[in-house]
Amino acid sequence: MQLTQLNRECLLHLFSFLDKDSRRSLSLTCRQLREVYLDPCLWNLLHFSSPCQLRWDNYVLGPSLRYLTICWYSSRVQLVCNIEDWLKSSFQKDICSKHDSLVSTFLAHVCHMCPNLLTLTLSGCAHITDQDVVSVLQRCKKLRSLRLENCVRITDRSLRGVAEHGDNLEEVRVDFCRNITKAGLQSCKEMRPAIQLSAERSADMIPDSKPEEKEPLSKALQKFLQYS
């Protein structure tokens, strides 16, 4: 029996065992398999291991998406992306400019196309902002789990968004997010006591300094040691 002789349900089941690239390659062989590939029901889970993968034409966004993970475990994150913008050299800014809006743009599409998202995990996404997180909370009302790790631009504003819009949230993690404060965590806990809220190291890390502030040498050395 040829693959194309199988019914739609069987083809969807077979496709579900393939990774994104294999699905796309198979979809290019004939129209029938292309239609299976484009079926939103196939795409209930997406995992990306770097922002550049968001550019690849090997996935489909749609209302069936339930679980989304974007993780970037790269030395570039620590050595370049995690530095405050005003402290970056021209070379470092040039490196970041090639990818700094990728995750934010992708999340904007998720807000409009994936209302049934249940779990969002973002790790090492140094360029996402509080507004990106708040927009997801506002548009993806069924979200149950939000996990943010080493997202240096995330502040207490995201926690306020959790308190204001996280009606169905059960778990929130903000680990190693250096601009989260103890006050922000306490306020969120008070407003949403039912949410399981955790923040490994976040409130104990050294927050960003402002351009007009002169960072003491001891503070700069501590921050250097944290990321070395």
Confidence of residue 210 (pLDDT cuts 50, 70, 90): low
Nearest to 204 by CA among 222, 188, 221: 222
Can you give the pLDDT at residue 82? Answer: 82
Can you give the pLDDT at residue 87? Answer: 82
Confidence of residue 226 (pLDDT cuts 50, 70, 90): low
- H helix or E strand, kind and range, residue 196: strand 196-198
Q: Comparing 45 with 208, which gets the higher pLDDT?
A: 45
Return the biggest CA–CA distance within the chain: 72
In tens, the pLDDT along 49-58 reads: 988 889 888 9
* Interval 196-222 mean pLDDT: 68
* Interval 74-100 mean pLDDT: 81
* Interval 200-206 mean pLDDT: 76
In the predicted structure, residue 91 carries a pLDDT above the cut 80 = yes
Domains of the chain: 1-42 (1.20.1280), 46-207 (3.80.10.10)
Number of H helices, E strands in the chain: 10, 6
- H helix or E strand, kind and range, residue 146: strand 145-149
CB atoms inside a 10 Å sphere around CB 212: 6
